[in-house]
């Protein structure tokens, strides 16, 4: 498998940033699925008075989905790729959206500290060297009882879904990536999904990290069994125990 990590992965995203939105637009349901996952946070009152973290915001598609679900919330959007973040920040946003250049592993060092009412993370965790460490950091920045939604390529575990993913990558994703000059990044995309947790395994990972009310929810269309929304809550003081 050809996987990229840390600075190599950030550099690959920097290089791909200029063409990234055009390629994701070829994915049927890409933006609609992100909006569905953001709505699954079930944020009250259009997010009025809430502080939200978009972790791994890329070029801002997940930020737009979060803003659509909570148009009155304050959103901090973070990404490790300077190139992707520049593309995101250049788009028109309402004043309550702030962008921060930082890896998911370095939130505290970038001044992104606690008190968030919810965290949204799209297409992030399978790209991390230490997903458990980042989940621990997410618990730290969430207020007690705060909500988490993870939108991620996580195969169901059924061979048919693995076969569909590989067919889509070989027939569409890899050729498109090569034409864009970013073949290495899109090979990483293919293999990172195969190498990462299945949906049941990632749900168990969330539970081991101390999250409560963990659910793995399917998404419609061709991504059924391939992409899931995971929702969970951070324990409040009464649930922490002695």
Model confidence over 125-184: pLDDT tens digits? 999 999 999 999 999 999 999 999 999 999 999 999 999 999 999 999 999 999 999 999
Residue 75 lies in a domain: yes
Instruction: Return the CATH number at 58.
Output: 3.40.50.150
Length of the chain: 242
Residue 241 lies in a domain: no
pLDDT at 1: 58
- pLDDT score of 78 more than 50: yes
Burial of 170 (0-12, 13-18, 19+ CB in 10 A): exposed
Domain boundaries, position 86 = 28-156+197-234
Backbone angles phi, psi at 147, to 5 degrees: -105, 150
Q: What's the mean pLDDT when you consider all of the chain? A: 95
Q: Global pTM?
A: 0.96
Residue 186 lies in a domain: no
Residue 21 lies in a domain: no
Residue 180 lies in a domain: no
- pLDDT score of 42 more than 80: yes
Residue 92 lies in a domain: yes
Number of domains within the chain? 1
pLDDT at 240: 54
Residue 103 lies in a domain: yes
Residue 188 lies in a domain: no
- pLDDT score of 236 more than 90: no
């Amino acid at each position: 498998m050809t996987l990229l990590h840390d600075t190599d992965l950030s550099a690959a995203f920097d290089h791909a940033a200029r063409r990234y939105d055009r390629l994701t637009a070829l994915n049927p349901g890409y933006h609609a699925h992100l909006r569905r996952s953001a709505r699954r946070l079930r944020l009250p009152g259009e997010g009025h008075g809430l502080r939200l973290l978009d972790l791994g915001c890329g070029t801002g598609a997940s930020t737009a989905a979060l803003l659509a679900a909570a148009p009155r919330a304050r959103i901090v959007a973070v990404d490790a790729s300077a190139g992707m973040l520049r593309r995101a920040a250049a788009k028109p946003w309402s004043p309550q959206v702030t962008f921060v250049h930082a890896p998911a592993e370095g939130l505290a060092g970038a001044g992104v500290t606690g008190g968030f009412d919810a965290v949204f993370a799209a297409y992030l965790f399978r790209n991390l060297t230490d997903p458990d460490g980042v989940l621990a950091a997410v618990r730290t920045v969430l207020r007690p009882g705060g909500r988490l939604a993870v939108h991620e390529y996580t195969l169901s575990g059924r061979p048919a879904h693995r076969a569909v993913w590989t067919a889509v990558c070989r027939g569409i994703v890899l050729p498109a990536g090569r034409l864009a000059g970013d073949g290495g990044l899109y090979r990483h995309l293919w293999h990172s999904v195969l190498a990462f947790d299945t949906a049941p395994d990632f749900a168990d990972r969330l539970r081991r990290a101390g999250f409560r009310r963990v659910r793995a929810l399917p998404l419609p269309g061709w991504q059924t069994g391939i992409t899931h929304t995971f929702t969970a809550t951070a324990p409040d003081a009464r649930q922490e125990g002695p």
